[in-house]
Amino acid sequence: MPTVEGRVLVSLSPLVNIDLFKRGHYYISCRLSDSLQKGTASPLEVKDIFGSAHSRPRRGTFRTELNGLSEHTYPGATKLEDRFITQTCLIEYTDQSFVLGEYFLFKYVYPIRTDHTEVYVPSQLTLTLDLMFNGEEELPSDPTTFDKVATRTLSLTLDWRRGLHCHWPVIFDYFHMASIGITAHASLYSISPDTPITEEPALGRRRSWFLNQATPRLTPPISYSTLLFGGCSSPPFSLVGSDRSDPAAVYSAPTEQVRRARQVHQSIADVLTLARDSLRQDFQKMSGVEDLSQATSSGPYEEGVTLDEIEEECKVHMVSLSLQLQATWEWFCNSALSHPDTIDHLLVTAHKEKLKYIKKSFLWSDDNHDSKGKSHVDHSNSQWISNMAAQTRKGLTNLPPLHCIENIETSSNASIVFVEVCPWLTRRGGVADNDPEKRYNFQDQLSPYLLRALPGNRRQRRQVAPQARHLVVCVHGLQGNQFDLRLYRTYLELALPHQKIEFLMSQANQLDTFTDFNIMTDKLQDELLSKLLGMSHPPTHISFLAHSLGGIVVRSLITRPAIAHLIPSFHFLLSICGPHLGTQYQTGMVSAGMWLVRKWYQSQSLLQLSLKDSPNLRDTFLYQLSEAQTFECFRHVMLLSSPQDKYVPFQSARLCTGGEGTTALDKVHEEMASRMMTSMEQFGVNLTRVTVHHALPTSAHSVIGRAAHIAMLDNELFVEKLVLCHIARYFV
């Protein structure tokens, strides 16, 4: 039967410990399978690439070669029965990285079951990565004794005619945060006209009616003769000559069948030729080196007369083209994989593809608000936001050919981000700096994952960066702890590995967030001053990332005289669902729940947030805080909110009002919003409102609004996207 055979070469490197809680021995298991169950994938061998681009010396001294098959044994990279495992690494501290120099070669084979057009259909392959762990001090003698602690699945959409050469960064889950760079090279290897038919692998257990129903039966493979000439088993022949009684007469195949055979064979030959030429073109594209060698081509085959002769000639020609393709694949492995510019090209290409895809879930627009913070557009309308989010998710198609299913958003789980620029910057023409198409670049190949913003003059940045030191203070919300903003810290560190950023994960108030705001402010003040005293060099910039109630604590901190000398260093404030106008407009269910919590814990902070800490609304804590200069002390302010969050009123987090109010509370809200917005305009603060619509499943938590409130912290894909595409630029 005719079969299609491909090769998939996978590199897993480098392995970086971002924030693994458990210290011990780790390795990664790699297994390739067919998502459509059309063919079979099996591991072939481990190849060594000496002098890999990840660890290469200076240009000009780079030397490398493809070693081919070598003796690989555990704890080094090893081939097991159906998978490969990387070398075993002892992880002892954060930011530890390991450059793994091996390539894993997989063989993929599938039979042609219907006709030659199957060669044109892309294959859907699945690459499964398992993070294996063993906490024993001594390295175990058997790799199968390791425990699987995390799994990631990569999807490869492979067009065999043009091959696949991609890179993709993979991050394991929240509790086992490590990253690994995946580089994959795949190509058609050969099309064999005659391969012995083997039985399909059994399921390993007794057949049953259920299994027969659940497992679809595949169409049996066809023969090469059927592929060429069609389904007729004994086609008629025509006599060359006029005497049918002559035993020496020569018979020839019908013209229609000959034409079909030639067309089918030419189509397959074109696929082999295109695959061969694509490998050479891809090498030139990745390395920038012109391929001076000329691909050999087998000349026209002899014109056969009988069906057997035609079939034999087609086989010979197909084998010749397959041998050329195999030789080109081996040349590609020796030339392209060892070239110093190959990995650079793949890294930049992967970055651009990922940024281009992420950009689809951002909606950027000019904000139009008056001095009172009233919106003239529908950005404050929850229904409009929901409709726009649903429409935007439909456009999240055309995933990259190589991507990690768990590390990329799709139309079913994407968070849609609406970014609005403050009105005074819009009038001054300052919108361009908020464009998501910021120029990013890679500076450190040991962090292949991460986008780095490089705005401004590079020479200036190199001169300023060594002296700059940025302190980022992360403040949790109600009943929170120091780990609430861990994802923001992690992705900032990954996105900006060369920036001198130091974090203070505030824990002064994590034991009691129901107390008075003034008490919480005192604790945060003492914690911040203590941190500054312990730093070897004073920070040139101080920024705050605050969630919910933490945003009010930060603003209250700025009013303290003991902090006044630090105000010139204040740089960026990220307020994540902060109730800056109070919590008076919560839904009935949430309001009733908060009332019970307030009564049960005798919470003074919840009383102050509800503007009920004083009979006179203008004597309340929040109103008096709005009269002080707080937001104005920062160069950049970002207000992050979601209409799905019912814990903090949407307009309170956005610092705007919906319209003219008639009640005393409405007028107080308008005064607070107008005062803060006007003051920020006078001081030229770069204010950005970011509205998020999450794709939340229907649950009790989503109904009461808690799911959206917490998703701002624990939705890894959302936090990664927000940090890389928007927040990181404030720290460079």
Give the angle subtended at the CA of 350 by the CAs of 497 and 398, to the nearest 5°.
Answer: 135
Q: Tokens 């790799």 map to which residue?
A: 143
> Domain limits at 79?
3-200
Listed ranges 60-64, 114-118, 122-126, 453-457; the one with the highest mean pLDDT: 122-126
Listed ranges 251-265, 363-377, 697-711; the one with the highest mean pLDDT: 697-711
Q: Which residues pair with 574 in a beta bridge?
A: 545, 638
Given 159, 177, 200, the domain boundary residue is 200
- Residue 506 scores a pLDDT above 90: yes
Give yes or no for a contact between 85 and 28, defined as CB atoms under 8 angstroms apart.
yes
Give yes or no for a contact between 705 and 646, defined as CB atoms under 8 angstroms apart.
yes
Q: What is the pLDDT of residues 190-235, one digit of tens each?
A: 988 776 544 444 433 444 443 444 444 555 666 767 777 665 544 4
**Average pLDDT of the residues in 260-287:** 87
**Average pLDDT of the residues in 655-680:** 86
- Look up the CATH number of the domain holding residue 431: 3.40.50.1820
Cα–Cα distances in angstroms (integers) from residue 472 to residues 72, 482, 504, 573, 574, in the given order: 46, 13, 6, 10, 11
Asked if residue 257 belongs to a domain, the reply is: no
Given 150, 182, 200, the domain boundary residue is 200
Asked if residue 423 belongs to a domain, the reply is: yes
Phi, psi of 654 (to 5 degrees): -85, -10
Rounded (10°) angle between helices 549-558 and 517-534: 70
Asked if residue 299 belongs to a domain, the reply is: no
First and final C-alpha spacing in the chain: 60
pLDDT band at 160 (very low <50, low <70, confident <90, very high): confident
Question: What is the model's pTM?
Answer: 0.82
Asked if residue 284 belongs to a domain, the reply is: no
Q: Of 119-133, 240-254, 268-282, 383-397, give the lowest mean pLDDT range.
A: 240-254
- Look up the CATH number of the domain holding residue 160: 2.60.40.150
Asked if residue 7 belongs to a domain, the reply is: yes
For the chain, what is the domain count? 2
- Residue 509, Cα to own-chain centre: how many angstroms? 34
Q: What is the pLDDT of residues 230-272, one digit of tens each?
A: 655 444 444 344 444 444 444 455 677 778 778 888 888 899 9
Q: Of 453-467, 527-541, 706-720, give the lowest mean pLDDT range.
A: 453-467
pLDDT band at 52 (very low <50, low <70, confident <90, very high): very low
Asked if residue 526 belongs to a domain, the reply is: yes
Give yes or no for a contact between 181 and 265, defined as CB atoms under 8 angstroms apart.
no
Asked if residue 447 belongs to a domain, the reply is: yes
Q: Give me the pLDDT at residue 64, please.
A: 29
Given 174, 200, 226, the domain boundary residue is 200
Cα–Cα distances in angstroms (integers) from residue 14 to residues 97, 168, 378, 445, 576, in the given order: 7, 12, 46, 8, 33
- Per DSSP, 402 falls in state E
Asked if residue 226 belongs to a domain, the reply is: no
Task: Tell me the Ramachandran region of residue 68: left when phi exceeds 0, alpha when psi lies from -120 to 50, beta otherwise.
Answer: left
